[in-house]
Every structure is written in structure tokens, then in C-alpha cells.
Chains A and B, each alone.
Chain A
Amino acid sequence: MTSAFVEDIRRLAGDSKPLRFGRSLRICLGNYGAQALLGYRLGRWLLRANKKPHLWPLLPLGWPLYFLVSRYVHLAFDIRLHLSADIGPGLYIGHFGNIVLRHCRLGRHCSISQSNHLEPAAEGQPGPTIGERVWIGAHARIVGPFQIGNRSTVSAAAVVQRDIPENALCTGNPARVIMRDYDNSKLINV
């Protein structure tokens, strides 16, 4: 939990300065995405701790804390990071509102924005798999078992209905690949 969350905070803070406790606390208080990720990472850690008997004394404190944080983030900012999603370290959540991540797999250093839906088309089906350093724009929907390659870019309001290769830029409804070699390093390094 801690290493992935530290990676998230480092991503938010930028790599320029060394990360101190006061600065990371200020980021947690001022950033909705950091609060959502705090709840999510805590929940994932508790899921792992369920299987380790020496950590069971922490569970009665941990699970209520998790439900408190995730409920607050859901009600206040409508960011729903379900524990069934597998999110790599260093996620950046752009804005807030109507973000749903369920049964999906995200690589390291992805960026998501407001009103993203990354989920399976129906219950029990596989969800989308997203590579490393993928930038997903506002109102984009990836609903279904689609693969998105590393370092590719999903433009705002795109509705992805097929697999997207690496380094590609896709846009439109349904999404089409309009550039094969698009460099999104400017977007990812906020």
C-alpha cells in the first residue's frame, strides 16, 4: 500500500523537489484524487491483510476507516475506485465527478480525468486492460474487454470499442486511431 501511494503522491508533487511529510499532507488535503487513492490503496492493503493472521488486530480499525474514506469520496466527489480494479502505482486523477473504475487493470503512471468509465460491459465479464503511461481524457468510456497499449492516448469524449495499439492517439465515437506514433510525454508529465 505505502509504496504505491507514495508513488501517487510523488506523481502529484512532481519529481523536482524531495518529498516531505508536510508537503504530502498538504497534497492529500488539497487534492480530491489523492483522497480517493488513499482510500483505494488502504482497501487493497486490507484485502491482502485479510490473509495474514499477524495483521488481524489491525483489521477492526482499518475496514471502518476504509469505508469512511471511500464513502466520503464517493458522496462528495463521485470518484468510485472499486477494489476489484487493479491500479498500478502513480495514478493521476485529473478532476472529479462520475469516475468509475471496476474490474479493470491499469499500468503504472496512467492519467484519468472526470467522467471516465473503465468497467466491464456486464457483470462477470472481463474489463479493460490498460498499459503503462496511458493518458485518458475527460468523458472517455472504455466499457468492455479491450486492450490499450503502453504510452497511447485516449482523447476526450472517446468511446473505445476495439483494441488500441501502443503509442496511438484515438478519438471519436466509436474511437478510431488517428495517429500511430503520438508522443504523450507532455501530457503525462504534468
Chain B
Amino acid sequence: MTKSLFQHFKADARFYRDITHGRTRGGLPLLWSIISSPGLWMLTFHRVAYYSTCHRNHRNHRSALWWMMRVLESLGTYLNAVICTSEIAADCDIQGPIYLSNKGLYIFGALRVGAGCVIHHHVTFGMAVADGKQHRPTVGANVWIGPDCVIAGNPHIGDGATLLPGTYLTRSVPPDTVVEGNPARIIRRNFDNTELRSSLTIVTETPALQS
């Protein structure tokens, strides 16, 4: 659990390489995926911002490293907005390598995201402001989220769940389910999304899932 920042960076880059290059080994694909993925840059900026947020509260002495982190955090927030058109809350706990799409358009206010998630572009995690509470969603491990989804309020998305494109989710979802629609309905249980997460194909319809 106590991974260093560098270990996180390494795991992220390897995860990106595995997805974009189909589980090849080697430094050249790794380097290429680092250079060509704005999603990975976004994740890296977020790791720095999260590190600096976590170390801000229980540190009386503000060292040179803290100041460097603070500057990097502000710069990273701005670059996320400009390069990827997205915003990630600095206190969002991303627990392992996840995939964020290069197309951006995230408004990412989740409280916790598990390892191995594949989250496509144009997704909003946010508070449901209507009831006056400031709850935020949490996401389990190995979740596949399609483009144009909105997750609002305090739902917990269980491990291995699949959210088809265009879902508007406000309630919790059990593990290994497929969810679709606005308002969201569970359309299938015990679905294994390992194959879906290993490539970047976007599934839009239910019949493609019947296997």
C-alpha cells in the first residue's frame, strides 16, 4: 500500500504500455506510451498533487521539497485543464494503475478509485448538490467505464462492474454487473470484463456482451 511516487509512475506507465501495445515487454514501447499519452501525463500530475495534498497537513516544517510539490501541483492542475480539458480533485485516492483516455474531458471528483480501472473519455464523477450533502462516489477495482457517463452522489461501484456508455448512475452497484441507461439499470450480472479492459475497444450495445 505504501508505494512511493516513483513506483506509482512506473506501474502507471507499464499499465498504459500493456493496454496500448498489447502486453509487449521492453523499454521502447514503454517510452512511446509515456510520450504519446496525455492521459498518463494527467495521471502523473494527479499523483504529484495527491502526494502534496497528503503531506500538507501533518508537516510543520515546509521544506524545499514541499514547495516544489506545491508549485508542481498548481502547474499540473493548469496543464490538466489545458492539455486534457479535465479536472481531477487533488484528494482523489487512486490506489493503483488505472487507464485514463487521451481524449480527456474528465471532471474527476471521486473519493477513491481502485487499481486496474479503465475509464474512457468524457466522464463526470461529482457530488449530487441537490440534497445539500457533499457525498462523493467511490469506485472499486477493475471497473470498466464507457464514455459519456455521469456518476453523481455517493454510489459505490463494486469491483469488476461495467458501465456502458451514456450511463447516469446515482445508486450503488454490486460487483461484476453490467449497468446501462439513464436512469441506470442493471442489465446483467456475473459478467467478466477482463477482455474489455485489456484493449481500448468501446462496447456500446448489449448484444455485443452476450457471449
**Chain A interface residue count, Cβ-Cβ cutoff 8 angstroms:** 24
Interface membership of B26, Cβ < 8 A: no
Least CB separation from A72: chain B residue:
B82
The CA of A62 and the CA of B51, in the complex, are separated in Å by 44
Q: Are B124 and A186 in contact (CB under 8 A)?
A: no
Interface membership of A115, Cβ < 8 A: yes
Q: Which residues of A contact B150 (CB under 8 A)?
A: 138-139, 156-157
**Taking A157-B182, A172-B183, A173-B182 as contacts, is the C-beta distance between A98 and B81 under 8 angstroms?**
no
Q: Are A96 and B85 in contact (CB under 8 A)?
A: yes
Interface membership of A5, Cβ < 8 A: no
Interface membership of B47, Cβ < 8 A: no
Interface membership of B130, Cβ < 8 A: yes
The CA of A77 and the CA of B132, in the complex, are separated in Å by 28
Q: Are A96 and B87 in contact (CB under 8 A)?
A: yes
| Chain B binding surface SS class | loop
Interface membership of A95, Cβ < 8 A: yes
Q: Are B87 and A95 in contact (CB under 8 A)?
A: yes
Interface membership of B107, Cβ < 8 A: yes
Q: How far is the CB of B126 from chain A (nearest CB, A)?
A: 6
**Taking A78-B85, A95-B107, A115-B105 as contacts, is the C-beta distance between A156 and B122 under 8 angstroms?**
no
Which A residues, 163 to 179, have Cβ-Cβ distances below 8 Å to chain B?
Answer: 171-173
> Per-residue 0/1 for A115-139: is the Cβ within 8 Å of any B Cβ (1 yes, 0 no)?
1000000000000000000000011
The CA of A74 and the CA of B148, in the complex, are separated in Å by 20
